[in-house]
Amino acid sequence: MLSSIIWDNPIIPALWLIGCAICTLYYLVHHPLLAAAASAATTAKEQTPVSVNYHFSRKCNYKCGFCFHTETTSSILSLDEAKRGMKLLKEAGMKKLNFAGGEPFLYPRFLGEVLRYGKSELGIESMSIVSNGSRITEQFLRENARYIDILAISCDSFNPDTNIRIGRGTRGENVGQLAKVAGWCEEFGIKFKINTVVCSLNWDEDMSEQIARFRPFRWKVFQCLIVTGENDNEKRIRDARSFLVSDEQWQVFCDRHKHLECFVPESNELMKGSYLILDEFMRFLDKGDGEEKASESILEVGVAKAMRQVRWEQDSFVERGGFYDWTKESTETGTGCCSSGGANAEDLEW
């Protein structure tokens, strides 16, 4: 009779349900096993910085009109700080580290030391460099080849006049230097790569014959990109608007060269959010849509927190072919074949 009276009152069941919910929530929060499981789930969601591009200086000896990482500062970290950051990245799961700029070979002593440290002391799986090629010497490659898996040279045209108009040198000498570097890479066992930006000055050029002759293991081709805050108007150090190509022009260039096995195209959409870029202060940069953003430095807040402050999409990284044969042991150097090797998505616990 009493229970019937209690449960006939609609307030009582509601209070009972609220009490049960509070008890359940308390149990979930304070039970050690469940708390550990929740912590593990959170950790599993942390992203792994598998491949990082470290632009350790913005200084460059060329003036490419479409550059989207311009010389807004002259800063460069000390070797000790750079090494500390590299160690943090390795501990966070980094497998590949690419040195870029600016022009990395303007600092040969710094570059040589971070290459040696990364390969010999940290055991980083792949170490690579992107350069305009102008300051590379045979002696540097001979002394440091053991630490370099890949050397990528930027070459946007095989026409000297076009290169001058783009801003790659003043005498159109970079094609001759490209040939020298390709030969040195073959001699010293470094995988040779070419990077090309498709712009309004070269989209109608047929590079098939020259690329086949230089035999890069990978030819990375980018669509000219605008980054707000870097190259988006006449007030910036560079104004890339006149260098842009339409999607139709981009597709024409791609169709002309898609028969080459080493051809790897990247449209603007593929590039956005798919690269982990560290600047000269070891801050991650978000060069996606809108104004460029920078995280706090990994030297101050660690890798995981800094990564959460920018947009990096693992799916986009995989989609654009971020995993490839990135160690020089994975395929014979100089064959021009983009064969499988190196890390892959299945090898990594995201």
Q: 0.75 exceeded by the pTM? A: yes
Cα–Cα distance, 49 to 61 (Å, whole number): 30
Q: What is the pLDDT of residue 346?
A: 43
| Catalytic residue list | 60, 64, 67
Q: Which of 240, 247, 230, 246 is nearest to 286 (CA)?
A: 230
Considering the domain 49-347, what is its CATH architecture?
Alpha-Beta Barrel (3.20)
Whose tokens are 């790659």? That residue is 168
Q: What is the pLDDT of residue 242?
A: 78
Instruction: Write out the H or E segment, with its range, that includes residue 127.
Output: strand 126-131
Q: What is the pLDDT of residue 348?
A: 39
Instruction: Write out the H or E segment, with its range, that includes residue 180.
Output: helix 174-188
Q: What is the pLDDT of residue 217?
A: 96
As averages over each run of 10 residues, the pLDDT of the chain (350 residues) reads: 51 60 53 39 63 92 72 85 98 97 95 98 98 96 98 94 84 85 98 95 96 96 75 57 89 98 89 82 78 88 95 77 81 45 42
